[in-house]
Structure 1
């Protein structure tokens, strides 16, 4: 609203024959002055990622090894990635790390530490903490394992682990299947992924365990899809500590 008035005031002062700056009112100087450089709003240093800069915790009995990329891929446009191999009592996992992430395995740092090449690149900063979280999940998976507990809430809802199935075929030798009874007229059978073990401590509880967190939680999500929790009666399949807020019944 005041911009046109300020421009008219500035033009009138510039066209006038007044050459002395003392004749301009003091309260008009801040409004008429134009800074030559862009204003800086902060002078603090950029904050590093609290997750990405934290060292990895490698327990005893777990081997953490970084394999450098081969020299064959240097001539291509796509830069090759290094591979991290993690071995532990429960298995072995590997993960490809982007080329712009460096892993320092100095013993004085308290564990392997991740750094990025350009701290101003948004993609590198985003993948910094993500890569560190994936590596820490792999370390925890081969040493202690990941688990998911599914609760079946509903009349007649239950699950069992079977050695054979009638509706699906096995994907690998010795595969077991989860048989769900969640209100359908047909049997619901799901093959357990390789590396994941399933057990039923109670008929309404299903325990999934495995070294890779992503595989365990994805299989738990696939089971939950067959009977999502509904907000009116609170029935459904709940994963870990999942809860749902109940709604009032619909009145016609």
Structure 2
């Protein structure tokens, strides 16, 4: 409704600016728009975990293997591989093509960067890739462990060399025998590279260089008796606790 009136006032003002005067309250409407100012002028926030340099002990070897030459007609870009060797073993991990590793001697350690820090996927994988590499470095130098606590009447675990219900997956595989209230035996094969021991009948210690494999096997054991909130019985991993509930009294 006001647009035609504004156009007429603007036309009159440009045709005869000396004879026509615009009221003061209409002057802001005919002024050119002011450029919008950005909300902040600071630099974008980088990943605190991803930008932190990797800590490599002297006994660990960190090597980057470049991907092979890209074949003609292949659209998918191949990933480079990082090999990490240490006293406890050797681990390898594929690195996404948009993640770069700077091994400058002037830096305290290898540093990861991404091609576009504004991309959500690259920003998410920035810190994830760095965390996986640091876990591998720690695994081949010191190792990862998980302690399982069995809380319940008769709950215990033992490490056996043979199993009646499970067939071995590789030569020399050992098995964890759980006694957690079932009428049938619960036998689980220990994954390759993981070492299991029982310092106490109600304690099970898992050790291995790869953190993901160790914690995944611990979670598999915990699934047989999840901690329940009324009596506090179950299998607890590391420092896991549970809040007890009051019994329902009718």
TM-score normalised to the size of structure 1? 0.89
Find out whether 1:14 has 2:6 as its counterpart: yes
Post-superposition shift, 1:23? 2.8
Post-superposition shift, 1:164? 0.4
Aligned match of 2:18: none
Q: Secondary structure at the match of 2:246?
A: coil
Aligned match of 1:146: 144
CA contact (8 A) 1:73 1:79 kept: no
The counterpart of 1:120, out of the listed 112, 118, 124, is 118
Between 187-196 and 67-76, the greater mean CA deviation after superposition: 67-76
Aligned match of 2:184: 186
Q: Whole-Å Cα distance in 2 between the matches of residues 83 and 73 of structure 1?
A: 18
CA contact (8 A) 2:81 2:93 kept: yes
Aligned match of 1:156: 154
Aligned counterparts, 1:172-211, within 5 A: 172-211=170-209
Q: Secondary structure at the match of 1:132?
A: helix
CA contact (8 A) 2:196 2:205 kept: yes
Q: Secondary structure at the match of 1:219?
A: helix
- Specify every segment of 5 or more residues in structure 2 that has no aligned partner in the other structure, as ranges: 14-20
CA contact (8 A) 2:70 2:77 kept: no
Please give the per-residue CA displacement for 1:12-51, whole angstroms capped at 9, x wherever unaligned: 963786964443189xx59x98956555211111011111
- Specify every segment of 5 or more residues in structure 1 that has no aligned partner in the other structure, as ranges: 1-7
Aligned match of 1:54: 52
Find out whether 1:24 has 2:25 as its counterpart: yes
| Number of equivalenced pairs | 241
Q: Whole-Å Cα distance in 2 between the matches of residues 73 and 227 of structure 1?
A: 51
Q: Whole-Å Cα distance in 2 between the matches of residues 122 and 195 of structure 1?
A: 35
Q: Whole-Å Cα distance in 1 between the matches of residues 167 and 134 of structure 2?
A: 34
Q: Secondary structure at the match of 1:134?
A: helix
TM-score normalised to the size of structure 2? 0.89
Q: Whole-Å Cα distance in 2 between the matches of residues 66 and 235 of structure 1?
A: 47
CA contact (8 A) 1:182 1:227 kept: yes
Please give the per-residue CA displacement for 1:148-200, whole angstroms capped at 9, x wherever unaligned: 00000111100000000001100000000000011100000000000000000
CA contact (8 A) 1:73 1:80 kept: no
C-alpha spacing 1:207/1:35, structure 2 compared with 1 (3 Å): farther
The counterpart of 1:86, out of the listed 74, 84, 102, is 84
Aligned match of 2:224: 226
Q: Secondary structure at the match of 1:64?
A: strand
Aligned match of 2:42: 44
